[in-house]
Amino acid sequence: MDELRTKYLPLIDAAQDEAALEELRLAAIGKKGEVSLAMRSLGKMSAEERQEAGPRLNALKDEITSAIAAKKAALADAALDARLSEEWLDVTLPGRGGARGVAEGSVHPVSQVWEECTAIFADMGFRVAEGPQVESDWYNFDALNIPDHHPARGEMDTFYMHRADGDDRPPHVLRTHTSPVQIRSMQEHGAPLRIICPGRVYRADFDQTHTPMFHQIEGLAIGRDISMANLKWVLEEFFTAFFGTKVKTRFRASHFPFTEPSAEVDIQCSFEGGTVKVGEGDDWLEVLGSGMVHPDVLRAGGIDPDEWQGFAFGMGIDRIAMLKYGIPDLRAFFDSDLRWLRHYGFNALQVPTLRGGV
């Protein structure tokens, strides 16, 4: 065993590439390697000999395996350093010219729609509120009247942050909606209040219309006489401005823990040739959830529900971007494909305004 150690460790250290390293691995600890054959011979030894030789052979195999892994990592680091030195680029140099001799970039559709929504709601008196993306479960669930047994609190749906043993702090999650921003805004500013809360949110889901990280915008308005009629007007005005055509809405009774009464909102559309056209036809498409803020949520925000009431709504920025600009797959938003961005992206100077169009 000492001979095998003396033989292979220097060879591993001197290996120049991964191919040579793989040959040494096979020769030493492969199926027919010298160490493997030595381990097979343990069966021919007496119990006393196996008791002595077995641990030594295992230790030798672990030592060779560790040496191979360390050398492989060193070779990978060296290859990366060599590549970086060859591909070095001065990022302060001016960009290569486009079709007009000017370097061109583009704005991501999510960023563009984010700005469009902000412009429309700002015109109706809503200001933008922001909050942390890592939230305590109190802000993300308890303050929003979501009970302990609710499916959204399961680890199959929510990303929980790791807690060390003995950590007695409340659990934290990657926020599943931007509703915690509403609680923080109520606590900070009280009533009356009129805000929108755009931002990134996280849920354990991934398919053509769902991604683990996506973008959401929520709205909250609190006053003494606010009603569902105000909510309907705000949403209809928003959709008309956003899609550039008069859009009818339909409210369907639903249930959300943080609103009472609650309603899902559909918009008028038609399905023709595999595409959706908003604002025409006899079909309906569900786009958001809404309702009057639950009294328990107002209390969690430090507002007296006997004096104040309000409405709230929430929708996916990525979803309405898909509807407006005909993007078929939500996952493409996050693939970082420059060809896709050049096709669906916006000119950097194409700033959305209500007067100029959104």
Report the C-alpha gap between 9 and 63 in whole angstroms: 9
Element (H, E) at 115: helix 109-123
DSSP letters for 88-112: ---TTSPPPP-TTSS---EE-HHHH
Write out the two tokens for 4: 């095998």
Phi/psi at 32 (5° precision): -110, 20
Phi/psi class of residue 346: alpha, beta or left (left: φ > 0; alpha: ψ in -120 to 50)? beta
* In a domain? residue 103: no
Expressed as residue numbers, the domain containing 61 is 2-86
Q: What is the DSSP string of 278-291?
A: ET-SSEEEEEEEEE
Looking up tokens 């583009």 gives: 106
Residue type, 265: V
- The b-or-e profile of 124-142 (16+ CB within 10 A means b, else e) is eebebbebeeebbbebbbb
Q: Which two tokens stand for residue 178?
A: 């931007």
68: Cβ contacts below 8 Å, ≥ 6 apart: 12, 21, 24, 25
- 70 and 167, same domain (yes or no): no
Q: Are residues 168 and 265 in the same domain?
A: yes
Judgement on whether residues 214 and 317 belong to the same structural domain of the protein = yes
Domain boundary among 86, 116, 144: 86
Of 86, 117, 137, at which residue does a domain stop?
Answer: 86
Residue 318, strand partner residues: none
Task: Based on the fold, state whether residues 82 and 177 are members of the same structural domain.
Answer: no
Domain count, the chain: 2
Residues 331 and 197 in one domain: yes
Backbone angles phi, psi at 143, to 5 degrees: -65, -20
pLDDT at 49: 81
Is 207 inside any structural domain?
yes
Residue 92 lies in a domain: no
pLDDT at 83: 87
DSSP class per residue in 62-83? HHHHHHHHHHHHHHHHHHHHHH
- One digit per residue, the tens of pLDDT, for the chain of length 358 reads 788 888 888 888 888 888 888 888 888 888 888 888 888 888 788 888 878 888 888 888 888 889 999 999 999 999 888 888 888 777 787 766 655 555 567 889 999 999 999 999 999 999 999 999 999 989 999 999 998 888 887 777 888 888 777 777 778 999 999 999 999 999 999 999 999 999 999 988 766 666 788 899 999 999 999 999 999 999 999 999 999 889 899 999 999 999 999 999 999 888 877 778 888 888 899 999 999 999 999 999 999 999 999 999 999 999 999 889 888 888 888 888 888 888 888 887 777 776 666 6
**Is 309:224 a contact under the CB 8 Å cutoff?**
yes
Same-domain pairing of 48 and 133: no
- pLDDT at residue number 253: 94
Q: Report if residue 220 sits inside a domain.
A: yes
- Residue in 134, 267, 136, 123 with CA at minimum distance from that of residue 196: 123
Domain identity same for 268 and 215: yes
| Chosen domain end from 86, 117, 148 | 86
Q: Determine, yes or no, domain membership for 96.
A: no
**44-55: string of b/e by CB count within 10 Å (b at 16+)?**
eeeeeeeeebee
* Residue with token string 């996952």: 331
Same domain, 28 and 116: no
Same domain, 166 and 300: yes
Alpha-carbon span 88 to 238, nearest angstrom: 48
Rounded to 5°, angle at Cα 124 from 225 and 237:
95
* Domain co-membership, 45 together with 149: no
Within-domain flag for 354? no
Single-letter amino acid, residue 173: V
Shared-domain flag, residues 112 and 72: no
Question: How far are the Cα atoms of 57, 75, 92, 128, 179 from residue 41, in angstroms, in the given order?
Answer: 11, 34, 64, 73, 66
CATH code, 215: 3.30.930.10
Query: Are residue 16 and residue 133 in the same domain, yes or no?
Result: no
